[in-house]
Chains A and B, each alone.
Chain A
Amino acid sequence: MKALRARFECVRVTQMNGVDIARFEFDYDTTWAAFFLDADLNVYSRYGGRDSDSAEGRMSIESLAATMTEVLEVHERQKGHAPADAANWQPVAQESTTPEAIPLLAQSHQGCIHCHQIQEYRLLQAFHDKQFQRNLLFGYPLPENIGLRFDRAHGHKIESLDEALPVARTGLKAGDVITRVGDVPIHSEMDLRWALHRHDDRRPLKVQAQRRVAGRTNPPPSIEVEISLPESWRQTDLSWRKSLRSVPFPLGFLGYALGREERAKADLPENVLAIRVVSIRGAGLAEAVGLRKGDVITALADRRQSRTFDQFKSDLLRDHAPGDRVRLKVLREGRGQSLEGAFPDWLTTDIAVP
């Protein structure tokens, strides 16, 4: 890794003040992200990303080294290519912008700007500009969302395909290396996630891959396929995201997941949902469905598995849009009850991020 690192000019950025977030667009809920660029700041690749299971499980020294090696190969090719081949660069918005260009952030924030605050202020700003859409919550979809599981030691080589999803019928196979999605060259899993993040749902998802064939010399043959995207394909667990607290979702109550002792007292096993309502706060979902202080929520529609409070909130946001019916089962004074009401309209009075 040291030898690889020495072949780059390395830059560290520890605060987001003044950063061109049109060029350095990444999942701002994460705490670590990397970019590979040329001297004119054309982007070759992105690296990083996490999921709800772990902050680092999707990264590895091996896959980082693989991405760095690919970037060096492309960079060397570019140097011998005049003019440079723009197809090797990832698209960047024409207009640069900074976090300080978000009006609410400029109005409310002082000092060091943290990555997650950019995403939080974007959500609040979108709400106050009447531009908020539920899809804003589900950024950087996982490859598993479209049915691809990558080899973690490589980054963008297919380890397996989900046989239940359309991708399994495209002709792609385990061992194929994804090289391009739409106009985005792919050198890492995060490149693919970024390509999915910016994909226009009205267009087919065009994917290029290379397939190594035993006995054949380089270059391996290229395959091009179109992937049909499954319903709700962007959605992932939001519970790990710091920005969850800034979603304009009027839950209308405070609560917590019962611990072991309280579950035992209520005769609730550890693997089932058990969220206690601590207080009712203003209009919102709680009022719409008729929750009361002291209720213990034991089911959300057919979901009964144990969840933290943030996971429960994430499930609500994944499964519902304003106006949808929300069905809960609760224990009220020891007796089971079913509650139902409308998912509320987006609403927040917040104009600043804690």
Chain B
Amino acid sequence: MPSHRLTLALTGMLLAACGSTARAQNALFRWHDNMDRAAAAARDSGKPLFVVFRCVR
């Protein structure tokens, strides 16, 4: 995959929680914005955490 498409894809993952087209996905999936709540959710679900740092300069 060309690199600029990769950035779009990765950013798209971040933005998936926003926007009307993503609402259906969000029924199954949502991004946490609080580490403590995410860790608690991981404890409940048994899933590992995927933490993304996206710095906007």
A interface residues (Cβ-Cβ under 8 A, vs B):
1-2, 5-16, 24, 26, 30-41, 44, 54-57, 59-62, 64, 68, 71-72, 75, 79, 114-116, 242
Whether A8 contacts B49 in the complex (CB less than 8 A), given A2-B25, A55-B7, A59-B6, comes out as yes
CB-contact partner of B51 in A5, A16, A37, A116, under 8 A: A37
Contact call A34/B48, Cβ cutoff below 8 A = no
CB-contact partner of A9 in B13, B48, B57, under 8 A: B48
- The SS class assigned to the B binding surface is mixed
Q: Which residue of the partner chain B has the closest CB to A59?
A: B6
- A237 and B17 CA atoms in complex are apart in Å by 36
Contact call A60/B1, Cβ cutoff below 8 A = yes
For chain B, residues 3 to 44, give those with C-beta under 8 angstroms from any C-beta of chain A. 3-4, 6-7, 9-10, 13-14, 17, 25, 28-35, 38-43
Shortest CB distance B49–A (Å) = 4
Contact call B4/A24, Cβ cutoff below 8 A = no
Residues of A with C-beta under 8 A to B34: 11
Contact call A11/B56, Cβ cutoff below 8 A = no
Contact call A36/B49, Cβ cutoff below 8 A = yes
Contact call B46/A79, Cβ cutoff below 8 A = yes
Contact call B47/A8, Cβ cutoff below 8 A = yes
Residues of A with C-beta under 8 A to B46: 79
Shortest CB distance B11–A (Å) = 8
Shortest CB distance A95–B (Å) = 18
B interface residues (Cβ-Cβ under 8 A, vs A):
1, 3-4, 6-7, 9-10, 13-14, 17, 25, 28-35, 38-43, 45-57
Interface centre among B25, B29, B35, B55 (most CB of A within 10 A): B55
- A15 and B35 CA atoms in complex are apart in Å by 13
Interface centre among A1, A13, A35 (most CB of B within 10 A): A13
CB-contact partner of B52 in A1, A10, A54, A72, under 8 A: A10
Whether A39 contacts B43 in the complex (CB less than 8 A), given A11-B33, A114-B57, comes out as yes
Shortest CB distance A146–B (Å) = 24
Q: Which residue of the partner chain B has the closest CB to A242?
A: B57
Contact call B4/A71, Cβ cutoff below 8 A = no
Shortest CB distance B45–A (Å) = 6
- A16 and B51 CA atoms in complex are apart in Å by 13
Residues of B with C-beta under 8 A to A72: 48
Contact call B45/A11, Cβ cutoff below 8 A = no
Contact call B6/A12, Cβ cutoff below 8 A = no
Contact call B13/A56, Cβ cutoff below 8 A = no
Contact call A116/B57, Cβ cutoff below 8 A = yes
Contact call B50/A16, Cβ cutoff below 8 A = no
Contact call A6/B28, Cβ cutoff below 8 A = yes
- A64 and B39 CA atoms in complex are apart in Å by 21
Residues of A with C-beta under 8 A to B40: 39
Whether A9 contacts B50 in the complex (CB less than 8 A), given A32-B10, A60-B6, A61-B9, comes out as yes
Whether A75 contacts B48 in the complex (CB less than 8 A), given A24-B53, A39-B42, comes out as yes
Contact call B53/A32, Cβ cutoff below 8 A = yes
CB-contact partner of B14 in A12, A15, A36, A57, under 8 A: A12
Residues of B with C-beta under 8 A to A30: 55
Q: Which residue of the partner chain B has the closest CB to A48?
A: B53
- A6 and B25 CA atoms in complex are apart in Å by 10
Residues of A with C-beta under 8 A to B50: 5, 8-11, 34-36, 68
